[in-house]
């Protein structure tokens, strides 16, 4: 009986020692994990800030390139319109009226595109502080639409005299 009691006591002490040491290790591990999580959160916050700055810089650079190329395209369109006005001046009276009306409409569209670009430039400079991925996507959508409109205008200018071939 003493042997059983002694064996039971020894087993209980050993189990208690093992459980106690395991608990301390678990607490140490939990503390280390908390520190790691805190450090990772700081890294993520810094990464988000860095990404925001990079996105802002990339969008700003893209906008400057787009704005410069668009202004050149608008100037080229203005030059084409002036050349077509000279060509229309040499046409007969019936065609002159018809072509002048079409050209006036195209010139109006070119002016509207020019104003649209200027407004977007002002809005872009004001919104540049809050640049994120969705703003970048909006900017790309504007650029696609504007480029499409400029292409349509260019095609319409080229086709101005094609409609009047007899």
Which tens digits make up the pLDDT trace of 61-98?
888 888 889 889 889 989 988 988 888 888 888 888 88
pLDDT at residue 148 in the model: 92
The residue count for the chain: 166
Q: What is the pLDDT of residue 166?
A: 42
Neighbours of 135 (CB within 10 A): 16
Burial of 98 (0-12, 13-18, 19+ CB in 10 A): middle
Give me the pLDDT at residue 145, please.
Answer: 92
Domain boundaries in the chain?
68-166
134, 58 Cβ separation under 8 angstroms: no
3-state SS string over 112-126? HHHHHHHHHHHHHHH
- Point out the residues of the chain with pLDDT beneath 50: 165-166
* pTM check: above 0.85: no
Q: What is the pLDDT of residue 111?
A: 92
Residues 6+ apart with CB under 8 A from 125: none
CB 164, CB 95: distance < 8 Å: yes
Q: In the prediction, which pLDDT does 165 show?
A: 45
Cα 107 to Cα 101: distance, rounded to the nearest angstrom: 10
């Amino acid at each position: 009986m003493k042997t059983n009691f002694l064996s039971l006591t020894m087993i209980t002490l050993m189990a208690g020692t093992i459980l106690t040491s395991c608990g301390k290790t678990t607490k140490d591990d939990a503390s280390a994990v908390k520190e790691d999580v805190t450090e990772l959160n700081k890294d993520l916050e810094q990464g988000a800030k860095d990404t925001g700055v990079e996105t802002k810089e990339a969008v700003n650079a893209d906008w400057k390139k787009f704005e410069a190329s668009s202004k050149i395209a608008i100037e080229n369109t203005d030059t084409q319109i002036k050349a077509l006005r000279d060509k229309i001046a040499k046409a007969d009276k019936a065609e002159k009226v018809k072509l002048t009306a079409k050209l006036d409409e195209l010139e109006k569209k070119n002016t509207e595109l020019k104003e649209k670009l200027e407004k977007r430039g002002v809005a872009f400079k004001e919104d540049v502080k809050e640049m994120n991925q969705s703003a970048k996507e909006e900017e790309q959508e504007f650029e696609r639409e504007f480029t499409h409109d400029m292409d349509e205008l260019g095609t319409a200018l080229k086709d101005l005299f094609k409609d009047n071939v007899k």
